[in-house]
Structure 1
Amino acid sequence: METLTLPYLFAMYLAIYLVARFVVFKNWSPKLRPEASSCLISLTHGTPAVFFAARAILSDPTRTFSSLNTSLQNFTLDYSIAYFLTDLLHYLVFNPNDVLFIGHHLATLFVFVTCRYFVYHGAYAILVLLILAEITSFCQNTWTLAAARKGDVDFAAKVYAFLSPPFYVLYTLARALAGPYFVYEMCVFYVSGAADSVIPRWIWVSWIVVVVMAISVSILWISNLWIELYRERVGEIEKKVR
């Protein structure tokens, strides 16, 4: 039954995407509907994935960076693999020129798939990183949907303005502070050779490279958002002074 989990989850995400596109966001402009549908499946994935991952980690008393994956950890990996496959399909169809996101999804899938189906070890490390990546999901996707409609819907503009500072703070704490620290801990463990008997060196090196690149892009992205927010607030103050 476990081997059928991934196809079932992929079908679930695909169904949610289609419902979002043709039902939930049917009144949105054709240009915005694909992005909004992508946000909805991201919402479906993000917060539940955090809870699944936390439970999978806490229920494993032998957890280390190289411990054998448990059934619950494998389910959580499948849950995320199904989401990233669906969203990758979305980008290939509607945004084939978005090389950054397509590359991100392919690299993420490589990490999840190798952990789940090739080495069967190391899920603890991957799931902690999943938590750090998805703990901002609800806020980020709500912020993204609001940003898409802030130009023509006043309520969306208010939600966008209200969410921006706390979202930026949470994202910075997770991606720019906790993320790098945890990756450092991973590096120390793997470089020691403690996992070489169960996780080939080329695989954990690949994991580290992918994660470091993802964190670097995240830090660059949030830095630009902070700069943009600062400029907006300065501009508002200058208008009031005038």
Structure 2
Amino acid sequence: METLTLTLIPNLPLFFTQFLIIYLIAYFIVFRNWNPKFRPEAASCFISLAHGTPAAFLATRAILSHPNPSFSSINTDSQNTVLDYSIAYFLMDLVHYLVFYPSDMLFIGHHLATLFVFVTCRYVANHGAFAILVLLVLAEVTSLCQNTWTLARARRDDSKTAAKVYEFLSPPFYALYSVVRGLAGPVFMYKMIVFYWSGNADGVIPTWVWVSWVVVVVMAISVSILWISNLWVELYRERTGKIEKKTS
């Protein structure tokens, strides 16, 4: 097991360097003509695109390839690689927030908590990646749509194309996000809590580890539900306002 860990550790700096390069390319080349106010956020979305969908596919493959998956099963090489990939991304995006938005404690706290879950699963317990990767898939399955929506939202006031993309994507994105974060996430989280609470992971995953996972994920899901609820309200007000303007 020690040999396995030592072998996979170099993946982390390799992946981090990859995301750093992608971020710099996005900031200085892809979005060089954007308003400086939006360039950092756009670069962050760019590395999120590079992480989200690939991570979802890689995590799904790693989950399905496990010979005996369970909430307490030992991590496989492929599962640990996906965890390293995600750790590297969140580290890079955390640096982004610390540099450009040091007062945004919500996102900084979110990234620190997420990193804690990934790092403890990967380097402390070396078990439970099945549960963490399923949650990763649920979190990242909306990544492509969400980042496209975020970029369009940033430019909707000065670009008609961006405004149209934002308006077109909002309802389906909100609906998908609501189903994944508001339904699938809580259901899977409930099963995870029941499994760990029953003691099936005793002796494999320390109690403080799985309890911290549960706390972090429940808080993340709660914030996500609150966020998407606010967006639904905002969308309703926007559409209602447009209808009133047309009829007045």
- The TM-score bracket by the shorter chain reads over 0.9
Q: CA deviation at 1:222?
A: 0.1
The aligned counterpart of 2:157 is 151
SS in 1 for 2:10: helix
Consecutive unaligned residues in structure 2, runs of 5 or more: 1-6
- 1:188 is matched with which residue: 190, 194, 199? 194
Aligned length: 242
The percent of aligned pairs where both chains have the same amino acid is: 71
Q: CA deviation at 1:239?
A: 1.6
Distance 1:196 1:186 in 2: 14
Runs of 4+ in structure 1 displaced over 3 angstroms? none
- 1:161 is matched with which residue: 167, 172, 175? 167
Distance 1:161 1:147 in 2: 9
Residue deviations 1:111-137 (CA, integer Å, cap 9, x gap):
000000011000000000000000000
CA RMSD of the aligned region, Å? 0.6
Residue deviations 1:177-205 (CA, integer Å, cap 9, x gap):
00000000000000000001110001100
Q: Does 1:117 align with 2:144?
A: no
Residue deviations 1:193-240 (CA, integer Å, cap 9, x gap):
000111000110000000000000000000000001111111111122
The aligned counterpart of 1:141 is 147
Q: Does 1:47 align with 2:47?
A: no
Q: CA deviation at 1:61?
A: 2.2
TM-score (norm 1): 0.99
Distance 1:234 1:85 in 2: 41
Residue deviations 1:66-97 (CA, integer Å, cap 9, x gap):
00000000000001000000000000000000
Distance 1:35 1:170 in 2: 23
Q: CA deviation at 1:57?
A: 0.3
Q: Does 1:60 align with 2:74?
A: no
Distance 1:111 1:72 in 2: 17
Residue deviations 1:35-72 (CA, integer Å, cap 9, x gap):
00000000000000000000000001200000000000
The aligned counterpart of 2:8 is 2
The aligned counterpart of 2:103 is 97
Amino acid at match of 1:139: C
Amino acid at match of 2:29: V
Q: CA deviation at 1:3?
A: 1.9
Distance 1:100 1:239 in 2: 36
The aligned counterpart of 1:200 is 206
SS in 1 for 2:243: helix
The aligned counterpart of 1:87 is 93
Q: Does 1:228 align with 2:231?
A: no
Consecutive unaligned residues in structure 1, runs of 5 or more: none
TM-score (norm 2): 0.97
SS in 2 for 1:128: helix
The aligned counterpart of 1:30 is 36
